[in-house]
């Protein structure tokens, strides 16, 4: 099995959400929030993680997996390898390999997800 998903977001959609903890806690994990809110411009980091979650959900849909919610996906930085990693927090889909690529510039964030099995 193999699937691809992508997503693009305007970063300014997240500018007013930085202090809306009710909203943030519905979408992001504590690890994600700790990372993003520690940055000087947290909106771009929130936006790109949201893109990653959406791209993963789109790829999962291509595999007929429709029961994973945005807040069940976690995007973290692998400090040793210096790249983002993604995981689905429930163990139901441990057999899936998820690879993501994140990018952001001044006003736009985007992400691509590839999901495959061995």
Task: Give pLDDT tens digits for 23-72.
Answer: 999 999 999 999 999 999 999 999 999 999 999 999 999 999 999 999 99
Enumerate domains of the chain plus CATH numbers.
2-116 (3.90.470.20)
Which residues carry a binding-site annotation? 7, 54
Task: Give pLDDT tens digits for 90-111.
Answer: 889 999 999 999 999 989 999 9
This prediction's pTM: 0.94
Helix, strand or coil for residue 84? strand
Rounded CA gap, 116 and 72, in Å? Answer: 18
Which residues carry a binding-site annotation for Mg(2+)? 7, 54
What are the two backbone dihedrals, phi and then psi, of residue 82, each rounded to the nearest 5 degrees?
A: 55, 50
Helix (H) or strand (E) holding 4: strand 2-10
Of the candidates 69, 87, 81, 80, the residue with the CA atom closest to the CA atom of residue 32: 87
Beta bridge partners of 97: 116
């Amino acid at each position: 099995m193999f699937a691809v998903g992508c997503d693009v977001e305007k970063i300014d959609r997240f500018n007013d959400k930085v202090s809306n903890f009710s909203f943030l806690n519905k979408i992001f994990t504590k690890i994600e929030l700790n990372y993003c809110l520690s940055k000087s411009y947290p909106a771009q980091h929130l936006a790109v993680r949201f893109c990653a979650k959406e791209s993963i959900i789109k790829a999962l849909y291509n595999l007929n997996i429709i029961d994973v919610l945005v807040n069940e996906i976690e995007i973290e930085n692998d400090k040793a390898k210096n790249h983002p990693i993604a995981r689905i927090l429930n163990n139901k889909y441990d057999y899936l390999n998820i690879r993501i690529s994140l990018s952001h510039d001044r006003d736009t964030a985007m992400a691509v997800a590839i999901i495959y099995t061995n």
